[in-house]
Structure 1
Amino acid sequence: MTRRFAKDPQVDNALRHSVKDGVAYSVMAGAGETYFSAFALFFKATTTQIGLLASMPPLISSISQLFSAWLSHKTHNRKKVILTGASVQAIIWLPLIVLPFLFPENAVAIIIACIIAYHAASSVVIPYWSSLMGDLVPEKRRGRYFALRTRYTSISALISLIAAGLVLHFYEMHDLALYGFISIFIVAAIARWVSVYHLTHMVELSEMTTTLDIEMTEHWWKQLKHSKFFHFSIFFSLMQTAVATASPFFAVYMLRDLQFTYVEFMTLSAATVLMQFLTLNGWGRISDMFGNRLVLITAGFVVPLIPALWLLSTNIWYLFIIQLLSGFVWAGFNLSAGNFLYDLIPPPKRSTYLAYHNVMTNIGVFCGALAGGLLGAYLPTSISVFGETYHWHSALLGIFLISFLLRLTVALVFLPRLKEVRAVRQMTVTELIFRATRFSALSGFIYDIISSVKHGRK
């Protein structure tokens, strides 16, 4: 990286290290976080326990954000908080690796506890890191800088996800899967310590003078509940509730019920990540020209179909195509939802509004994942109708069907009511579908590389 991100050499150096921090963090996420559910399933975690594994971290994250608000009144040294939280997260990998091996009878409970602590440490850091990066990245170069950083982190996450899957597959073939998990988690821990090293090169241009206050006055609440932001947050949190009812259990379905190997699981997981990476910029160009509402509505009505499509076949290549479709649609949905949210929030209140939005979303994910785990434990695998008995191979298919119905209901109720916030060119949904399905993901990827080279020469 020969380009300069800032005129101040000290700031420029910090931003270069931030890119490397992002790469190291992505290696940890790809090689480690991706396989948390698989690790729990190795120790015979039940569907309900997987539900807890998926539901508790978002709830703890909400509490951690409140802790961050309290902490901001006690210290204004953002770098110190960031380094402490990141170091704690790195340390947590040690008990996560060692304790299940030493106490296999309590392994699942230990894994859940460690992962809760892992996400709590990360959630405390996020507001301070976002605030510090907002000060360091020059406003005029913010778009290009974060585009470059995201490109590097996405590639790193994908490569590490694939590599970890291959490592697990190698150990699995020799009946040593546990040592495979230990190996990839050691890599993840080392990657986080590398991330911490690069975070030490962050610089505080000035201490944080504002606190992360959470308003709770009656007047503010009356304003909030009648705002477009509040109605959108309700929609988004309900959609995440519906999604979380099924999303934690696709891994369970693949590894436990379909008996897929780790390399097959990795292949399907990587398909979604790869498709999101290749199509994200294409969706971004459409959103910039024609608005976020149109993309949100189009993708929002396809998102419900994803779990329903899992009911039709267990063929891995069929599921691979479904995963590609999932990555394509979720790239558009997540991008447009994030942009739409920022359009709705007044800049002076961004921190407060985002805190509420994140809390609502995390509570929704908690409720959805917990409900899915409980349903998965009690749903039948057969039903009798007029004397005929119908069987299916997994109770999780019932969860996928319920998630489809919940997602569709949320989409039908909320999406038609969305109004575009900014002035954009007009386009019909049919035209958008044609444009979105005809743009080449590979061409978009090549376009991004050429663009980054051109920017580097300026």
Structure 2
Amino acid sequence: MKTFAADPKVNKSLRFSIFDGAAYNAMLGFTQDFITPFALALKASTGQIGLLASLPNLALAISQLGSPFVSERLKTRKMFILPVVLVQAFLWLPILLLPQIFDGAGVWWLIVLFTAGSVFGALGNPAWGSMMADLVPAGMRGRYFGTRNKIGGMALLGGFLVGGLVLELSGQQVMIGFSVLLGGAMLFRLASAYFLTRMYEPPSHRCPDKFNPFKELKKLPVSGGGRLSLYVAAMMMATHIAAPFFTVYMLKDLGFSYGAFVIVTASATIFNFLFMGFWGRLADKHGQLKVVRMTSYIIPLVPVLWLGGHSLPYLIAIQAVSGIAWSGFNLASTNLLYESASPERRTRVIALFNALSGLAICAGALLGGLLATRLPEIAGYSFLTLFLLSGLLRGSVVITLLPRIISAGHNRMLIEEHKGSLTAVARPVIAWVISLLMSAGNWIALILQKRMVKFQSPQPEQKRLIEPYPPWPL
């Protein structure tokens, strides 16, 4: 394995962190994209799906504001990280037992328990991020986290593929398949906790003043880290208006089997980890900010492309584009956040970043749940209208808020902006391209709306599947 630091103790800890990330991502592979199918198997409604996607993020966001209060009062950050990780691991057990314990209220208990698990899983993130930023040398962050995320992505994909295979083989006994996935998730999170115990924690930097979330929120518009947090939060809201409903669209409207659903969803994961190393090297060479900019211009196009068709090869291609863009965006925005904050304030900055993103995801998912069944149809599907709306909102966020991050000169981000002359040359060209592509998206939508009339007459349901949603794989 690669050497990431000169200090053997630090290097060993960074290796254990990679194992921790692999185990954590294996847990996500078993659960992240199967919670919505599990809820659908429990007969969840579209509104309940929206709550399942939104409430965990709302609770997570609120809890993040309290995380620095606890972590900064303990002797070490690991004293806070390890207990919350263990609680999240054991919360998978009651979720596993839901089909056996509850009959009609299983979905509501799923929302409650999954929300609690999400909160405990994220409570330690600010302290963990602060510890990792102290461990990883600044000039290696892109490559290290690129490697860590790549290996984690492989574990995520492996867990996801195994999970899809388990559900496909479960046949009519799909609840047994879900039990296997949720039990495996608990074991992998316990393994993640073990690797965390083996990591060395460098001495933490303490802020002299007490944490005041309201005071910190007032500083957001005038700091580089604050502007980045606001930009990412706005992007998350625009994204999650549609994000929870791609699964519903594939399983319910298109009638995909679990196997087809796994293939489409896994495509994004594959390209995500394949390009993680590329984005990491590019970020270390040219700056994290440039990678954020490049990927930001791709992200608005992804949901709009879903309007172009629903064949399996076409959706796989879209997911490939999505995986490439989001891998660079998530990697670079996180590292840029680490660079924008001084070590003693890093826990607080990460907490606020997570809180804003969680609130935005919650608001987006709730809004999407309200709009999903009320929007006019495009080509016979109202979800396509929701995807178009998400793309337009993402584009507006990029156009209006991204320049504010670029022009932020209050801290270290100014250094990122002036590394090389590529930005000055590419900026007007990229802005013109994104404007052109957004216009093309509107043009395509208008054409599809005109075609909708033809689909609605004389047999409006002709394009629908005879079985709109097979409850179990065929």
Q: Relative to structure 1, is the Cα distance of residues 362 and 98 closer, same or farther in structure 2, using a 3 angstrom cutoff?
A: same
Which residue does 2:467 correspond to in 1?
Answer: none
Inter-partner Cα distance in structure 2 for 1:126 and 1:416: 28
Stretch deviating more after TM superposition (11-20 or 97-106): 11-20
On the 8 A contact 1:24/1:195 being kept in 2, the answer is yes
Which residue does 2:457 correspond to in 1?
Answer: none
Which residue does 1:265 correspond to in 2?
Answer: 261
Inter-partner Cα distance in structure 2 for 1:415 and 1:4: 32
On the 8 A contact 1:214/1:352 being kept in 2, the answer is yes
Matched, 1:313 2:300: no
Q: Relative to structure 1, is the Cα distance of residues 377 and 278 closer, same or farther in structure 2, using a 3 angstrom cutoff?
A: same
Q: TM-score, normalising length from structure 2? A: 0.79
Inter-partner Cα distance in structure 1 for 2:83 and 2:218: 38
Task: Give, in angstroms, the shift of residue 398 of structure 1.
Answer: 2.0
Which residue does 2:185 correspond to in 1?
Answer: 188
On the 8 A contact 1:50/1:248 being kept in 2, the answer is yes
Which residue does 1:231 correspond to in 2?
Answer: 227
Offset from partner CA, 1:223-272 (integer Å, 9 cap, x none): 54333443333222112111110011101111111111111111111111
Matched, 1:126 2:125: yes
Q: Relative to structure 1, is the Cα distance of residues 397 and 211 closer, same or farther in structure 2, using a 3 angstrom cutoff?
A: farther
Partner amino acid, structure 2, of 1:42: A
Inter-partner Cα distance in structure 2 for 1:196 and 1:373: 35
Offset from partner CA, 1:47-67 (integer Å, 9 cap, x none): 211111111122111222223
Q: Relative to structure 1, is the Cα distance of residues 128 and 296 closer, same or farther in structure 2, using a 3 angstrom cutoff?
A: closer
Task: Give, in angstroms, the shift of residue 287 of structure 1.
Answer: 3.6
Stretch deviating more after TM superposition (395-404 or 291-300): 291-300
Task: Give, in angstroms, the shift of residue 109 of structure 1.
Answer: 0.7
Aligned pair count reads 420
TM-align CA RMSD: 3.1
Stretch deviating more after TM superposition (73-82 or 187-196): 73-82
Task: Give, in angstroms, the shift of residue 44 of structure 1.
Answer: 2.0
Task: Give, in angstroms, the shift of residue 139 of structure 1.
Answer: 6.8
Matched, 1:396 2:392: no
Which residue does 1:443 correspond to in 2?
Answer: none
Partner amino acid, structure 2, of 1:377: T
Which residue does 2:23 correspond to in 1?
Answer: 24
Inter-partner Cα distance in structure 2 for 1:317 and 1:138: 41
Which residue does 1:445 correspond to in 2?
Answer: none
Offset from partner CA, 1:113-162 (integer Å, 9 cap, x none): 11101111112222333344455557787666545433322221111111
Inter-partner Cα distance in structure 1 for 2:362 and 2:71: 26
Which residue does 1:440 correspond to in 2?
Answer: none
Q: Relative to structure 1, is the Cα distance of residues 206 and 238 closer, same or farther in structure 2, using a 3 angstrom cutoff?
A: closer
Stretch deviating more after TM superposition (350-359 or 176-185): 350-359
Q: Secondary structure at the match of 2:211?
A: coil
Offset from partner CA, 1:19-51 (integer Å, 9 cap, x none): 332222121111122211111111121221111
Which residue does 1:91 correspond to in 2?
Answer: 90
What residue ranges of structure 2 are gaps of 5+ in the alignment? 408-412, 431-474
Task: Give, in angstroms, the shift of residue 78 of structure 1.
Answer: 3.1
On the 8 A contact 1:76/1:208 being kept in 2, the answer is no
Task: Give, in angstroms, the shift of residue 317 of structure 1.
Answer: 1.0
Q: How does 1:165-314 map to 2 (within 5 A)?
A: 165-171=164-170, 174-203=171-200, 213-215=210-212, 224-314=220-310
Matched, 1:426 2:421: yes
Q: Secondary structure at the match of 1:311?
A: helix
What residue ranges of structure 1 are gaps of 5+ in the alignment? 382-390, 434-458
Offset from partner CA, 1:289-341 (integer Å, 9 cap, x none): 44445443443232112111111211111111111111122223333433444
Task: Give, in angstroms, the shift of residue 201 of structure 1.
Answer: 2.8
Task: Give, in angstroms, the shift of residue 166 of structure 1.
Answer: 1.3
* Percent identity (aligned): 36
